[in-house]
Every structure is written in C-alpha cells, then in structure tokens.
C-alpha cells in the first residue's frame, strides 16, 4: 500500500560552532542599520554578543552607547561613552555624546565640560554652538 503522507522538509542546519569574526562584523553592520531604522534595543541586542567577544572594540562600544542613548537608557549610555573616552580621550564625538547624555540627565555642569572638550578637539559648528563658543 503506498504512503500518501507528505514528507517533512528537513530542518535548517544548526549553526556550527561559535560565532566567527565575520559573524560579528555582520552583527555590527546590522546593528548600525537597526539604529538608523530607530530600533536601538535591537541594535543593543546584536552588539552585546559582539562586545562580549571583542570587549576592546571601541567602535562597537560607541555604537552601543549611541543605541543606549537613543533608547533613553542614559546610565548605560554614560558608562559606555566614558569607557570609550578612557581609551580614546581625544574622541570629540564621544565627548559631545556624553555631554548630551549628561544634559538629558540634568547634569548641566558635566555636560558643559564635555561640550567644551568636544569643541576644543573638533571645532564643528554643532560642537561650538553646544559649548556656547563662537565660531
């Protein structure tokens, strides 16, 4: 007697082994896209594994800090921006973003300090205006 049941399609293959450096690059790029698409929480989820594998990766930490800020998670954003600045004290954007984080948290004196550092490091009009310097 013939079997009239439809065969079950094969399951997708299980991921083989731990994530590779290429996987982390893909996750980083996807996190950039999620942040641009206004999904900061999704970006943070992807970046968590990238940073767990590469804690020294300042670019990933800076992107995660931006995602925390966009998600209004100000304390984690502050901690990430500060870590970036420990490693790259001349990063004008990190100073500017940390200043915005302090400003949003109501810590105006700390914000002013980092706005001024950002403007001194990179006299962009936006940084100068925030620091209340004239261009």
Token pair 């700390």 is found at 110
Mean pLDDT across 88-112: 98
Cα torsion 10, 49, 30, 42: sign? positive
pLDDT mean across residues, the chain: 90
Lookup: tokens for 45? 């989820």
Mean pLDDT across 110-129: 97
- Report the C-alpha gap between 124 and 120 in whole angstroms: 9
Mean pLDDT across 28-39: 98
């Amino acid at each position: 007697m013939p079997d009239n049941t439809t065969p079950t399609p094969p399951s997708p293959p299980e991921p083989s082994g731990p994530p590779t450096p290429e996987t982390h690059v893909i996750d980083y790029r996807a996190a950039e896209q999620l942040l641009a698409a206004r999904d900061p929480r999704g970006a943070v989820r992807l970046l968590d594994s990238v940073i767990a594998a590469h804690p020294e990766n300042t670019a990933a930490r800076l992107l995660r800090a931006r995602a925390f800020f966009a998600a209004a998670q100000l304390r984690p954003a502050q901690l990430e921006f500060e870590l970036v600045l420990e490693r790259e004290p001349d990063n004008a954007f990190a100073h500017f973003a940390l200043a915005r984080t302090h400003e949003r948290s109501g810590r105006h004196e700390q914000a002013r300090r980092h706005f001024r550092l950002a403007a001194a490091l990179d006299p962009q009009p936006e940084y100068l205006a925030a620091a209340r310097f004239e261009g």
